[in-house]
Amino acid sequence: MLHYLKIWLASARYSIVRTLMFRGDFFVWSLVEFFWMSVNLLMVSVIFRHTDSVAGWSKYEMILLVGTSMLIQRLLMGFFWSSIFEMGRNIRSGYFDFFLAQPGNVMFMATTRKLDPDGLINAFVAIGVVAYAARELGVHFDAATIVTYLFMVLCGLVIHYSILVLSISMAFWLTSAHGIEGSYFTVTEFSRLPKEAFKGLVTRVLFVWALPVVVVSNTPARLLLPRYGFDWRWAGTLFAFSALWFGLAVLVFHRGLRRYASASS
């Protein structure tokens, strides 16, 4: 683990130095992401000008849910997004050979090589949104609650990471993985809705169980809500989903790796 930590720190240092070389680009993209987050919060405010609740959730409960969803996405964008989506292009171009020659697990090297500091900066904004909503709801924070919340956010991050790796790994068979980025953003829009909003059997099975984007954000958010509190069934479900999706991503990635022909062939 120390060996991989050193490799990751070297990659992180390279990404930060490169970002500092293009400060204008970093500033613009940070503002773009901040604007996108602001639009989501503004939409919640507009909705609650015309209603008192959404599927039984109040305004600040919805802000807490949206903030949790944004936190997970910002962490994903900051730590993994660029590397994972470059993987599809690298497989097609043959540049993936570079990762095969590196001193470490291929999946780790290919999906953690780049950091996006603009995404990580806005993760602090998302934390601020969660803290603000929790204060308005009168949430009492203690060490156990914070640790449990962060653990469930980590499980959600693992699920998002695994789904993306699994999707991009299709490039080993299909050559191109175009369209996955837009599809991912479309699906994750549902993570900002309460589970109770999904009434139909098809939508509940698809977005709560088959693609657990709703569970990812709802479980940590419900932990902080006084009327829900900690539910070991939801927490256990989230942990089981994270282990299942990660195992599936590893399996498909390594199966695809056997099909990789490299640039030389």
Q: Which ranges in the chain belong to alpha helices (H)? A: 2-21, 23-47, 59-76, 82-93, 97-100, 106-111, 117-136, 143-168, 171-174, 180-188, 201-204, 213-224, 232-257
* pLDDT given for residue 132 in this prediction: 93
* Alpha carbons 117 and 123: distance in angstroms, whole number: 10
SS3 of residue 57 by DSSP? strand
Q: Per-residue pLDDT for the chain (265 aa), expressed as one digit of tens each? A: 788 888 888 888 888 888 888 878 878 878 888 888 888 889 898 999 988 888 889 999 999 999 999 999 999 999 998 899 888 888 887 788 888 888 788 999 999 988 988 888 989 999 999 999 999 998 888 888 899 999 999 999 999 999 999 988 888 887 666 666 667 777 777 788 888 888 777 777 777 777 788 889 999 999 898 787 777 888 888 899 999 999 999 999 999 888 887 655 5
* Alpha carbons 74 and 77: distance in angstroms, whole number: 5
Residue 203: count of CB within 10 angstroms of its CB: 13
* Alpha carbons 225 and 139: distance in angstroms, whole number: 7
* Measured torsion, CA atoms of residues 187, 224, 195, 130, in degrees rounded to the nearest 10: -30
* pLDDT given for residue 182 in this prediction: 64
Q: Which ranges in 137-179 belong to alpha helices (H)? A: 143-168, 171-174
Give 38's contacts (C-beta < 8 A, 6+ positions apart). none
φ, ψ for residue 66, nearest 5 deg: -65, -40
